[in-house]
Structure 1
Amino acid sequence: MEILKRLTTIFLFLALAACATVGESPTAPPAQTGAAVDDYLIGVDDIVQVTVWRNPELGITVPVRPDGKISVPLVGDVAAGGHTPAQVAADIQEKLASYVRDPQVAVILTDLRSHEYLSRVRVTGAVRTPVSIPYRQGMTVLDAVLAAGGVTEFAAPDRSDLYRKSDNGATKSYAVRLDRILNKGDLATNYKVAPGDVITVPERTL
């Protein structure tokens, strides 16, 4: 009976500790799930890859011309500039229907060359080399910080922040526990970054 009481006490202690840990979790930025790229408006010089399911001969990888168009086998010129990849895919799919039965088209951005300034991710503050790097799909906070050479000996990495503009133009900040990411393997705040994000690493206060 005494053993059962002890086990019950231990279980209650662990449950309370777990609840406290959950309560301390920082607010995460909105999940990207590819939306940043899916909603991206294609621009001149961007490299796009067009694939047609079961018709590899119709696939191409080309830059967007200065007139904002790309040339696609069978259908000719298609407007890409100013449209999302999904919109371009739907346009090509509709035009291909005259030549291919039930075409399934995918358009993928393989290199973001236009809007380069807006598409960059910046790391500032107490890092070895403050950088402005091109955004790439799947990039995380850790990727960006490592590209900056890591933090300096004067950094306060667990007080880092990720700044992101919301759809209404307001800038929101999200706490990044960089020390936990770098030294403890705790990836809870190793958020996926989005084009235009700024990561700041403050210095320690003496």
Structure 2
Amino acid sequence: MRRSAAIMFASILAACASQGNPPTTVSGIPGFQPYSPNLPNYRIFPGDQLEITVYSAPELSRTVTVGPDGRIHMPLLDPIMVANRTLPEINQQIYSAMSSRLVDPSLDVFVAQYGPQQVFVGGQVGQPGIIEIPGQIDALQAVIMAGGFTSNANERQVILVRRQPSGEISSWAIDVRSGWHDPQLANLGPLQRYDVIYVPRSPIAQHNLFIQQYIREALPIDFSLFYDVRSGLN
């Protein structure tokens, strides 16, 4: 019985050894278009500060912060939902709301200050969690800020999850390893606020984890003691 189990275990190890690097899956990533006048307008998020100037009633002008619920508060008005809306849309909202209070509610809305630009980096990185991006950075730079790849990381299949302005959730696999030599080849593209970067385990690491769990949890205790995976796999 032990001999049969040993043969099975050796077969699994052989399969691990023959596992090569997965092929690159990304040749171009939708949503990573370069900056141009054709890009859609910026949409407001909680934490952004808006400067609202009411020309006919300066006493109503003020700087407001978008709350966690996505709303702002103005005198004489009910709370106004502005999250995920553009400045022209917000301008029209406030104008319509003030029309019942003012004869001429002409106003302008500007972004006084942008809220924290945060992304989440998880999986096989040194320090997974939320990081605040200092400017226009890509997935490789975000991983470096999160402590870099662990020894088990699959650098060729990093997952990017992004919520589009329409609300649709999109995801792509990125060959971040190529970015070490040529960021253009990797098609990394700039990250956006609230992007999620997930670094999965490499195929070898996944096989090793399977072996450890199988030996320790699935086999009878006399078999699991026979295969000391701690000395053989770590």
Partner of 1:142: 140
Among residues 61, 64, 83, which one is paired with 1:62 in the alignment? 64
Q: Provide the alpha-carbon RMSD of the alignment.
A: 4.4
Partner of 1:14: none
Q: Alpha carbons of 1:61 and 1:130: their partners in 2 closer, same or farther (altered >3 Å)? A: same
In the TM superposition, residue 153 of structure 1 has moved relative to its aligned partner by 3.4
Structure 1: which amino acid aligns with 2:29? A
- Give the number of equivalent residue pairs: 165
Structure 2 residue ranges without an equivalent (≥5): 1-24, 205-234
Correspondence 1:36-115 to 2 at 5 A: 37-38=42-43, 40=44, 46-50=47-51, 60-64=62-66, 68-71=71-74, 77=77, 79-82=79-82, 84-86=85-87, 87-92=89-94, 104-107=108-111, 110-111=114-115
Distance in 1 separating the partners of 2:198 and 2:134: 19
Q: Return the structure number with greater strand share.
A: 1
Q: Alpha carbons of 1:103 and 1:120: their partners in 2 closer, same or farther (altered >3 Å)? A: closer
Structure 1: which amino acid aligns with 2:198? T
Q: Alpha carbons of 1:37 and 1:80: their partners in 2 closer, same or farther (altered >3 Å)? A: farther
Q: Indicate the percent of aligned positions where both proteins have the same amino acid.
A: 21
Could you report, residue by residue, the CA deviation over 1:139-179 in whole angstroms, capped at 9, with x for unpaired residues? 5323421331121233331222213356575x543232212
Distance in 2 separating the partners of 1:194 and 1:178: 17
1:177 correspondence with 2:137: no
Structure 1: which amino acid aligns with 2:65? P
In the TM superposition, residue 28 of structure 1 has moved relative to its aligned partner by 0.4
SS in 1 for 2:203: coil
TM-score if structure 1 supplies the norm length? 0.54
Q: Which entry has the higher C-alpha Rg, 1 or 2?
A: 2
Contact 1:36 1:195 in 2 (8 A): no
1:160 correspondence with 2:158: yes
Q: Alpha carbons of 1:65 and 1:174: their partners in 2 closer, same or farther (altered >3 Å)? A: closer
Q: Alpha carbons of 1:66 and 1:30: their partners in 2 closer, same or farther (altered >3 Å)? A: closer
Contact 1:69 1:81 in 2 (8 A): yes
Structure 1 residue ranges without an equivalent (≥5): 1-23, 113-118
Distance in 1 separating the partners of 2:162 and 2:68: 30
Distance in 2 separating the partners of 1:126 and 1:153: 8
Could you report, residue by residue, the CA deviation over 1:28-48 in whole angstroms, capped at 9, with x for unpaired residues? 03247675951x4x55xx342
Structure 2: which amino acid aligns with 1:189? N
